[in-house]
A and B are shown apart, each in its own frame.
Chain A
Amino acid sequence: MSDMTANLYLLESVERRYERGGSTVHALRGIDLSIAEGELVAVEGPSGSGKSTLLQLLGAMDTPTAGRVDFDGVSMAGASDKALTGMRRDAIGFVFQQFNLIPTLTAVENVEIAIGRGTGGKVERRTRAAELLGTVGLSERGDHLPGRLSGGEQQRVAIARALANNPRVVLADEPTGNLDSATAHEVVDLLAGLNTTHGVTVIVVTHDGEVASRMRRRVRLRSGEIASDSGAA
């Protein structure tokens, strides 16, 4: 499969089952998917279609019950927590629906705590955090606590935080779910812009067709299976 080496993600026959209340829930039933570096992907599907489970596997938060999940040529299946943690820290950036900023820390501090320990000293980290805020257009608001920022601003801080360690991929979970449509548009622009200007792979999980339509590739899930895939561009 030498032709697959360019793939950032390679999923083969991925299954994920949960034991819940004595019964087995098949969240994912044999997913085959590959995502190349630099793609801009939307994962769509109704509630219970398995898109959150897929996001967890892609985000190195979970491991498959069966099948294979490779990230950048490294198998995630059976990887240790330490290895998965390292992947999340160094190569994966997350953007959450509810922003998940630390409410007691300022915008710049929220970005700063995500920067890996190996990255220089405290001063360097602070400088980099400020730069990242500049990237998302919030260089003036670094000293504000999340509570003092609008939803769109908070999500931009979250995006800056996701970029803290120069990730290979940014995973966004319903990034516009808590935003009004105008702000949602700005955030999607920002994510798409990261992809185009920085070449960062961006995968957005959404049930919002409008957001999905802004992505170059759309993967639709239904009942734990891939219902449709617009395919790599």
Chain B
Amino acid sequence: MPSFRYAGNELRRRASRTVLTALGLAAGVGLVMGIVGVSAGLDRAQQQVLSPLGSVGTDILVTRTVAATGTAATGTAATPTPSATPTPAAGQGGAGGFFAGGGGPGGRNGGGAAALASLDDADATALLNENSSVITDLSKLGKAGTKFTHDFFLAGTLITFPQQAVDTVASVPGVTSVTPALTLQAQHQTGTVPNIVAEVKTGGETLTSTTRPAPLTSSEQAAFRSCIVANGGFGDAPGPAPSPGTRPGGGQGGGGGFGATQKCLPKRFQEYQTNVVTPLRTIQQIVNPPATDTTSSSYTAAGVDPASVSTGLITKANLSSGSWFSSDVVTNSGQVLVSTAYATKQKISVGDKLPINGTSYAVVGLVNPTLTGNTADVYFTLAQLQKNATKTGRVNEVLVKVGNASQVDAVAAAIKKALPGAQVVTGKDVADTVTGSLQNARDLASRLGGALAVIVLLAAFVIAVLLTLSSVAKRVREIGTLRALGWSKGRVVGQIVTETTGIGLLGGALGVGLGYLASIAVAQFSPQLTATTQGVAAGASTVSSLFGQVGGQAVTRNVQLTAPITAGTIALGMACALMGGLLAGTIGGWRAARLSPAVALRDLG
């Protein structure tokens, strides 16, 4: 048993050294706690954004896309529609469509089909059908020259499927709940209805040429006359009976005389009476699309089940202001929720009205969608969006909740089997695509932070050891006396270790205080981190490519960094400080124990 009172008195007597050593340890401990806290904060932030599906009560997202991944679908699918434009002749129906097809089957088999060759036939068909509303004849929006504003709702690469598929998913064992949703790419267009739709066809005409030949020469006339006469020609001259065989043209009247005339005319007169049919040619003339002042902006619209408040693309928990949809079907069909990011950009606030295709929607709330790939800007009720997009009874996303987290992968596989062609994404898949400053900070914290903590802690340890050694050097006579009095080496070491452990405790306490200050400082400055995910599938779609937009659907979310301090962190900090104290005490004590007791006798002045 070391003497605690002796140790305590000793620490008090050398208070400045004690405090200095303790402060060194405290700095190390504080930093370690700060780094551990920040690391925990980053973990927490990551948890918040990296399990986005989980945070909306969803484990699996079921969609149907034209290809396995969003990016691949974008690259391939972006080609067909524009390529159909310069070849209007191909399968052009008579509709006078601005773009190929006008929804007719011909358009689908035209230029688009070739470009879509790499896609599955069924997928290609579905993709074009889904997006057919973009191939809209603008002239149908009004008389040429009038202004129009219209929102087109398109599925992009996220193909819709009948709502019955939801029941199929629900029947998969392990699924506890399913929530259907519809996410569409909305193109908001304003402009003037274009005034010409040109169509040019050439070739295939019959050309008739009439030429007056030069009069017969007198010799020709004589020959003609004699020929006529010889063939029993003119009435005034006797001749043989007309031969029916010489009159193939018939119908000329005047007896057989005309037949003879034909026969008797010189060759050149005979040729000029033939009709000339020009060779059939097709002259292609490129018709520029009519110039209009059409401007287009896009946003994402989603239809959610207003009755599903805890699962779905958004949940009641995502509300940042305002309120959720009304439970009344008639009322809620006229209501929308707007994402805070979109609301900020568009200066929309709760209570505003959003006019869309002639209907005014009341903005009842702002939501902070979680970091799924399919966050939308404007949320309608599912039924209303289906109506707007004329997709009644169709959805393109099913959010699935699984009873047991360990079953997620198995259930995902089962859904894939039950719905061939479905893309099944789990929360982990989404998390894997996350990038941004959060991810960077996380990497930084784990790599640099850890190293920094170790370095600072080691420095604190070294300082503690050096100060303890210097303290031992100053107490040579005292330690020698203790040894002379019969204190064993172990007892001397124990006494020194007791003292430095006391310093360690003090340093730990100060360090925990510093750690708390660091935590508070982090919360005060609250650095904002961003996390970006490339999204699941609705990503840069055919449509947004068509309208010259590239990407843009990556979802970014800001997270406030905190540095929470837990009991474990405090324990770790204290442990570090005590370890420093023990280390310093052991080394200092070992040095002290090596002192000869004879130093007690020396006259040290």
Contact = CB atoms under 8 A, between A and B. Distances in A.
A96 B9 CA distance: 23
B601 A96 contact: yes
B601 A102 contact: no
A9 interface: no
Contact of A113 (B485, B596, B600, B603): B485
B123 to A, nearest CB: 87
Interface stretch (A80-88, A128-136, A189-197): A80-88
Contacts of B10: 104
A56 B486 CA distance: 14
Given A105-B6, A109-B6, A94 B485 contact: yes
A109 B600 contact: no
A100 to B, nearest CB: 4
B603 A97 contact: yes
A149 interface: no
A32 interface: no
B401 interface: no
Nearest to A173: B601
A165 B9 CA distance: 24
B3 interface: yes
A117 B487 CA distance: 10
Given A56-B598, A61-B598, A88 B486 contact: yes
Interface of A: 52, 55-56, 59, 61-62, 81-82, 85-86, 88-90, 92, 94, 96-98, 100, 102-105, 109, 113-114, 116-117, 161, 164-165, 173
Nearest to B483: A85
Interface string B1-25: 1010110011011000000000000
A163 to B, nearest CB: 12
Given A52-B601, A61-B597, A105 B478 contact: no
A204 B411 CA distance: 94
B596 A100 contact: no
Contacts of A105: 5-6, 9
Contacts of B482: 113
B598 A94 contact: no
Interface of B: 1, 3, 5-6, 9-10, 12-13, 477-478, 481-489, 596-598, 600-601, 603
15 contacts: A59-B484, A61-B596, A61-B598, A82-B488, A85-B486, A85-B488, A86-B486, A88-B486, A88-B597, A89-B487, A92-B486, A96-B481, A96-B601, A100-B481, A114-B485
A173 B489 CA distance: 23
Nearest to B6: A105
A104 B6 contact: yes
Nearest to B482: A113
A113 B601 contact: no
A56 B601 contact: yes
A31 B209 CA distance: 157
Contacts of B596: 61-62
**Most A C-beta atoms less than 10 A away, residue of B1, B12, B477, B486:** B486
Contact of B5 (A85, A92, A109, A165): A109
Contacts of B9: 104-105
Contacts of A164: 485
B496 to A, nearest CB: 14
Contact of A94 (B3, B477, B484): B484
Contacts of A61: 484, 596-598, 601
Nearest to B599: A61
A57 to B, nearest CB: 10
A61 B598 CA distance: 6
A53 to B, nearest CB: 9
8 residue pairs, one from A and one from B, having the closest CB atoms: A89-B486, A104-B9, A100-B481, A88-B486, A114-B485, A61-B597, A61-B598, A104-B13
Given A61-B484, A105-B5, A113-B485, 19 more contacts: A52-B601, A59-B484, A61-B601, A81-B489, A85-B483, A86-B486, A88-B597, A94-B600, A96-B601, A97-B603, A98-B477, A103-B13, A104-B12, A114-B486, A116-B486, A117-B1, A164-B485, A165-B486, A173-B601
Nearest to B495: A113
A55 B484 CA distance: 12
A109 B9 CA distance: 12
B6 A88 contact: no
A113 B3 contact: yes
A89 B492 CA distance: 14
A90 B603 contact: no
A114 B10 CA distance: 17
Contacts of A52: 601
A100 B477 CA distance: 7
A218 to B, nearest CB: 21
Nearest to B603: A97
A165 B484 CA distance: 13
B43 to A, nearest CB: 47
A174 B481 CA distance: 15
A90 B486 CA distance: 8
Contacts of B477: 98, 100
A97 to B, nearest CB: 7
Nearest to A53: B598
Contacts of A116: 486
Contacts of A113: 3, 6, 482, 485
Nearest to B593: A81
A62 B484 CA distance: 11
Contacts of A104: 6, 9-10, 12-13
Contacts of B483: 85, 88
A211 to B, nearest CB: 17
Contacts of A117: 1
